[in-house]
Structure 1
Amino acid sequence: MTIKVGDTLPAAQFKLVHDGIQDAGTDDVFKDRTVVLFAVPGAFTPTCSAKHLPGYVGHYEAFKARGVDVACLAVNDAFVMEAWGRQQNVPAGLMLIADGNADFTRALGLELDATGYGMGLRAKRFALLARNGEVVSLHVEAPGEFKVSSAEAMLAALGD
Structure 2
Amino acid sequence: MSLEVGDKIPNVDLFENSPMEVVNSEELCSGKTIVLVGAPGAFTPDCTLKHLPGYVEDADDLKARGVDEIVCVAVNDPFVMAAWGQTLGASGKVRMLADPMAAFAKAVDLAADVPLFGTRSKRYSMVIRDGVVSELNVEPDPSAVTISASNNLKLE
Question: What corresponds to 2:129 in structure 1?
Answer: 131
TM-score (norm 2): 0.93
Give aligned pairs, total: 154
Question: What corresponds to 1:16 in structure 2?
Answer: 16
**What is the alpha-carbon root mean square deviation over aligned residues?**
1.7
Contact persistence 2:12–2:103 (CA under 8 A):
yes
Contact persistence 1:141–1:148 (CA under 8 A):
yes
Work out the CA distance in 1 between the residues paired with 2:2 and 2:98. 20
Residue 127 of structure 1 aligns to a residue in which SS? strand
Q: Aligned residues: percent identity? A: 37
Quote how far apart the aligned CAs of 1:26 are: 1.2
Q: Deviations over 1:83-140 (max 9, x none)?
A: 10111111324211100000011000000110x2x11100000001110110001110
List aligned pairs for 1:11-90, cutoff 5 A. 11-17=11-17, 22-68=21-67, 69-90=69-90
TM-score (norm 1): 0.91
Q: Structure 2: any 5+ residue segments left out of the alignment?
A: none
Work out the CA distance in 2 between the residues paired with 1:66 and 1:21. 32
Task: Go from structure 1 to structure 2 and tell me whether the alpha carbon gap of 1:17 and 1:133 turns closer, same or farther (over 3 Å shift).
Answer: farther
Question: What corresponds to 1:145 in structure 2?
Answer: 144
Work out the CA distance in 2 between the residues paired with 1:151 and 1:49. 14
What letter matches 1:122 in structure 2?
R
Contact persistence 1:102–1:121 (CA under 8 A):
yes
Work out the CA distance in 2 between the residues paired with 1:48 and 1:61. 20
Work out the CA distance in 2 between the residues paired with 1:142 and 1:93. 27
Question: What corresponds to 1:121 in structure 2?
Answer: 119
Contact persistence 1:105–1:111 (CA under 8 A):
yes
Contact persistence 1:76–1:98 (CA under 8 A):
yes
Q: Deviations over 1:46-71 (max 9, x none)?
A: 01000111000000000111120210
Contact persistence 2:32–2:129 (CA under 8 A):
yes
Residue 21 of structure 2 aligns to a residue in which SS? strand
Contact persistence 2:16–2:82 (CA under 8 A):
no
What letter matches 2:122 in structure 1?
K
What letter matches 1:63 in structure 2?
L
Out of 51-60 and 9-18, give the one that drifted further: 9-18
